[in-house]
Amino acid sequence: QQSSTASITDLDTYPWSTVQEWALRDNLPKYTVRIPLKQKSTTSTDSHRILSSSSSKPNSGHTSQRKLALSSFALWRSLLQDVPELAGYPVEFLQARYMEQQREAAVADNDDNDNDKQAVVDSIAILPYLQDYEFSAQGGVCGTVYGLEGVADGSRIETSAVSHVQETLPKGYIQTSDGT
């Protein structure tokens, strides 16, 4: 028996046509954000990713710089809500369709160049989703979370204080001051 995730990502599970193909291809870039993330330290016990670019306090008289990597995230749920041609599909299925599009494009590029190199496909991660949220008195956001590693879907959480809300919230995500 297959798991539910395996069946959702099976590309033959749901009806699909060139209309949906082009809707995904044309609209996904509008719903993709690049967020600077601190690269995980191998000695860190914190399982959360850091989103700030430098230490907020000097460390022993000098400022420590954090190495950042830009990571791409798709606002899949917003895409599903806003693009009628894609409404009703599970996020995992659309991710699988996107990966298939990327593989086909990479193979076509390799065929054009007559290279025997294996196609490299970039994936677009999904951000945890906070539903029914409200801003808290401590400057954070509390709400019901889904897709956060280490936290059960549907759990109520409160984040630490958020930063740059004027810039990030209109784009569909938030960042915390401490980077968790």
**What are the average pLDDT values for consecutive 10-residue runs of the chain, which has 180 residues?**
59 92 95 77 41 34 59 88 95 91 84 52 75 91 90 93 87 78
C-alpha angle with apex 95: 86 to 16, nearest 5 degrees? 45
Q: What is the CA radius of gyration of the chain?
A: 19
pLDDT at 79: 93
pTM of the model: 0.65
β-strand partners of 162 = 176
How many angstroms separate the CA atoms of 18 and 30, rounded? 19
Q: DSSP assignment, residue 13?
A: S
How many angstroms separate the CA atoms of 122 and 127, rounded? 16
Q: DSSP assignment, residue 137?
A: T
Per-residue CA distances from 15 to 80, 82, 97 (Å): 16, 19, 12
Instruction: Take residue 31 and report the two structure tokens written for it.
Output: 């719903």
